[in-house]
Chain A
Amino acid sequence: MPIIVNVDVMLATRKMRSNELAERIGMTTANLSILKTGKAKAIRFSTLEAICEVLECQPADILEYVKE
């Protein structure tokens, strides 16, 4: 998929674990895993907002476009 979700990079920067992020944004670890592995078909703005709020970053920090 051309859109890559770089949540791992921000998690490492903020020294946070995946399960902690999932708990803080009200998401299951399974869904977060789907997001991280690029299997998600779409992301809601509310989810993106929650991730950016917890990780204190911009959407561009976690979303990247790579031409196929």
Chain B
Amino acid sequence: MKKIKILYITLFLFMIFGVLGITGSLLTIFLGEINLLEVYAYRNFGILTPFISILISIMLLCGIFNIQKALQGFLRNTYFNAKSAKHLKTGGLILVGSSILAILNGFINGSFVDKESLLLSSIIYCLLLIIGIAVLAVSDIITKGEVIEQENLLTI
């Protein structure tokens, strides 16, 4: 339980930093002195480039939010509960989706960044994809575990 609490708090802090980061990016875009047309003129997505990155970040935060809800379910109820399984499945799917979009975005805009940064970001996004798939697998385990627990509870 202690480890789940630590993970819950860590994800909560990560989400706060994420929200602050996204807010900062949006403020920089809309209130800063950056001319989007000049900076992103030659990018494949044009002035939409920063917004695509922000969208992927928001998707990632939504995925982490769902995982956090699942952890909350573990802390309040038993480990094997349907609600947590559902949140884990949703979170996993969002993580997988956002990582795939991030990988694609990286390769499409890859010519505008240096090779080392592209390689590092690709590794991070692949790791995120693996984590998303792992979360989906854990969701399946929790669902099956719930069935076994129910049968065990009804074994007199």
Contacts and interface: CB of A to CB of B under 8 A. Distances in A.
A34 interface: yes
B156 to A, nearest CB: 5
Contacts of B154: 34, 39-42
Interface centre among B150, B151, B155, by most A CB within 10 Å? B155
A53 to B, nearest CB: 16
Q: What size tier do the contact residues of chain B reach? A: under 10
Interface string A28-52: 0001101100011111100100000
Interface residues of A, number: 12
Interface in B110-133: none
A35 B154 CA distance: 9
A9 interface: no
A40 B152 CA distance: 10
Interface of B: 150-151, 154-156
22 contacts: A27-B156, A31-B156, A32-B156, A34-B154, A34-B156, A35-B156, A39-B154, A40-B154, A40-B155, A40-B156, A41-B150, A41-B151, A41-B154, A41-B155, A42-B151, A42-B154, A42-B155, A42-B156, A43-B155, A44-B155, A44-B156, A47-B156
Per CB-CB distance, the 8 closest pairs between chain A and chain B, nearest first, are: A41-B154, A42-B155, A41-B151, A35-B156, A40-B156, A31-B156, A43-B156, A40-B154
